[in-house]
Structure 1
Amino acid sequence: MITDIVMLRHGRTSMNLERRLQGQIDVPLDIIGQWQVDHSGLALAQRYYWAKVSNIAAHPDLLPTPPVSAVRAADIEEYRKAPAAARTMRVVSSDLFRAQQTAHAFADILGLDVRLDPRLRERAFGEWEGMTRAEILERWPEDFRSWKRHEGGELAHGVESRREVGERGAEAIRSYVREARDEPGEETLMVVSHGSWIVATIATLLGMDVDEANGLDGMRNAFWSRMALERGADGDRWLLVEFNRGPQIAEFVDWENGPQELRSPDMPMWKPIAG
């Protein structure tokens, strides 16, 4: 049964750097995004190292086999008897490529498979996808201001509502919980998705009004949030344990722009949105 859910946002893309609404446009990570997810993937793999042990215990063929000349053979029983073997981890990802890259930066270290799920895609932004906020403001000033006030002006342009995104995400999470409900042991679910999707899904699971969830800021690239699921006589209870957390290195470097040695001379600097 699933008791722990980690939601990891993908790393930076060139469209993130240009401050464009990506929505469901399929774009890869840029060089800084790959650097971000490599650091976050390593940090999370260190935290959840037990998942590698558990996976080997369940799939003995993954245990490296020494040559016949070795003094001793590899001992699968060490893995099967370890307490870690009683817990499992499942990794699921949005099928958009930037999310897949992020998922594999974590899962490949631990030897885990990645399951793709289109329900985990980012919020669809309709005809606004690929545009900057300045471009939208210039063409549709009233709808833009309505969107910023959470009054729904964006819906006239085929944009998926925040409530729809939250319901889509929450139902995907609940479906995974239902699938694993009768499985023995505890399971951690690693979900790799997108910023708006993660915030809307968390708000929905917590029973918050998605349009009024002002206490939840946006997710930074390659940062994660974690929820715990408690079961009781009155039903499931969702708890937000971590929100918008990243690897320790992010506290000491310019996380959004990455190290100098990765930035080409013509690469613009990422800047926060003013106002």
Structure 2
Amino acid sequence: MRLRLVFWRHGQTVQNLSLRIQGAQDFPLDDVGHAQAAEAAGELAKMKPARIYSSDLRRARQTAEYLFKVTGVPILMESSLRERAYGSWEGLTSAEIRERDPEQWMVWREGREPEGVGVERREDCGMRVADAVSRAVADIEAELSQSVGKDDVVTVVFVAHGGSISNGIMTLLGQNPSEWVGLQGMDNCHWAILESRHKANPPWRLYSYNRRTVDVATIDRPGF
């Protein structure tokens, strides 16, 4: 069995449009976000997901519901997929943070870890997401390993957030996101794909990042 992990960022919210940090706060999709999710779900359905996991925050859950509507695959809620928490900065724009906490704003903009304002470390965010993914993978392998062939592709979709996705992927690829910030957050309703590598280190490779269409010709290509 070969695994394809799809990390799908939620659709647009009013806070995205106004460039405000949402973090762990719970906001719904706006009208554009609903339209984005409906369109993207039709694309992602082409990969025939076997499982759909979603952050329990409303913007992710609403996004996941569009994929459920076109696939019939139930949504499994996972709070560990939540966005990176931003403490006292949640609800603020970058300009407002700079005015309020200029020193820690500079630390943040330089790719380091802010202190004293309640912002979750990227490493901690990445570890909780990677742990959730590992649990999901173990469950799927235990359930499906005897019923699918070794070359069959099993797709699992994780609906989450820009920060939690990028930090989680960096961790799954063996990087510490507090030290290596090679991936940034994706656009709304875009996705990334990791593919399994048997007995390799790391056991995943990044196949695509920040996509919004599916290349049908490569969905079931012979090998990874």
Task: Give yes or no for the alignment of 1:203 onto 2:170.
Answer: yes
**Quick one: which of 62, 70, 75 aligns to 1:109?**
70
Alpha-carbon displacement from aligned partner over 1:18-63 (angstroms, at most 9, x marks no partner): 1111001111000111111111111112x22xx3xxxxxxxxxxxx
C-alpha contact (below 8 Å) 1:39/1:247 kept by paired residues: no
Amino acid in structure 1 at the alignment position of 2:163 = S
In structure 1, the residue matched to 2:203 is 237
Identity of aligned residues (%): 38
Amino acid in structure 1 at the alignment position of 2:109 = K
Q: TM-score, normalised by structure 2?
A: 0.87
Q: Using the alignment, how far apart are the partners of 1:4 and 1:107 within structure 2?
A: 18
Q: TM-score, normalised by structure 1?
A: 0.71
Deviation at 1:159, TM superposition (A): 0.9
Deviation at 1:208, TM superposition (A): 1.7
Amino acid in structure 2 at the alignment position of 1:91 = I
**Residues 240-259 of structure 1 correspond to what in structure 2 (within 5 A)?**
240-247=206-213
Q: Name structure 1 gaps, 5 residues minimum.
A: 52-87, 249-275
**Quick one: which of 144, 163, 176 aligns to 2:136?**
176
In structure 2, the residue matched to 1:132 is 93
Cα gap change, 1:181 to 1:112, in 2 (>3 Å) = closer
Deviation at 1:214, TM superposition (A): 4.0
Task: Give yes or no for the alignment of 1:90 onto 2:90.
Answer: no
Cα gap change, 1:235 to 1:243, in 2 (>3 Å) = closer
Deviation at 1:173, TM superposition (A): 0.6
Deviation at 1:2, TM superposition (A): 6.3
**Quick one: which of 193, 198, 222 aligns to 2:160?**
193
| Count of paired positions | 207
Task: Give yes or no for the alignment of 1:119 onto 2:80.
Answer: yes
Alpha-carbon displacement from aligned partner over 1:134-188 (angstroms, at most 9, x marks no partner): 11110110010011112222x3111101000101111111111122223332532
**Quick one: which of 147, 164, 167 aligns to 2:124?**
164
Amino acid in structure 1 at the alignment position of 2:133 = I
Deviation at 1:119, TM superposition (A): 0.6
Q: Using the alignment, how far apart are the partners of 2:57 and 2:2 within structure 1?
A: 24
Deviation at 1:215, TM superposition (A): 3.2
Larger Rg: 1
Q: Using the alignment, how far apart are the partners of 2:59 and 2:26 within structure 1?
A: 7
